[in-house]
A = this chain, B = another copy of it.
């Protein structure tokens, strides 16, 4: 039986691409996303066409019990989850304090912070019983510093980062590796950045920064590092790292 890689937040950017990478390396990848059945089917289909194993699920991770049920289902029906990728974004663009409603602020936290806590509560005891596991957590610049318009996003992502540190402090010694991966730049991801900007502005950005090799971070290349981190020997684990395009400045410089 193949080891399982569970991806929460499997769009056509980082999530789906990391899922494909793990599948190509011998994992059964389980792709979960909130919407777009066609997009999901395409990702799963492409993995299978390449000879990999994958399953796809539409689910709303912030709904009560959904993450927990999905983990139980996967563990019972597909196999033990060896790697989990928590890839839910909570970026809503820049909004002033006035334009950030309580509901928006709460939803940001439910997606970015609470959902990871719930995943860990359900999954880590299972991993611990098996002697270990890996949890890759995609994070954002906002985890490192607040900024105008980022009231919701920064508070939620900072909670995510500190939760990763707390989880490592409790679970690393028990064999569970949590990696906080800071995506410090714009990703060539049609399902998130593309939708936020709109089709035309996204295409303009891609052309301006270079479609192939340049300023936008390429999910295929990002996935290489995600995979490497998950394969690190336990004598040399990375807890925190950043990733950015060569042509971009680090967050501390702009």
Interface residues of A (CB under 8 A from B): 96-98, 100, 102, 105-106, 109, 113-114, 117-118, 120-121, 124-125, 142-151, 154-173, 175, 177, 213-218, 221-222, 224-225, 228, 231-254
Contacts and interface: CB of A to CB of B under 8 A. Distances in A.
B157 A162 contact: yes
Contact of A155 (B97, B121, B162, B236): B162
A21 B81 CA distance: 31
A69 to B, nearest CB: 14
A225 B228 contact: yes
Nearest to A215: B235
Nearest to A171: B97
B247 A221 contact: no
In the complex, the 4 A-B pairs of residues with the closest C-beta atoms, listed nearest first: A146-B165, A146-B166, A241-B241, A221-B233
Nearest to A113: B155
B146 A163 contact: yes
Contacts of A215: 235
A172 B252 CA distance: 14
Given A105-B117, A161-B158, A169 B250 contact: yes
Contacts of A142: 162
B247 A239 contact: no
A245 B250 contact: no
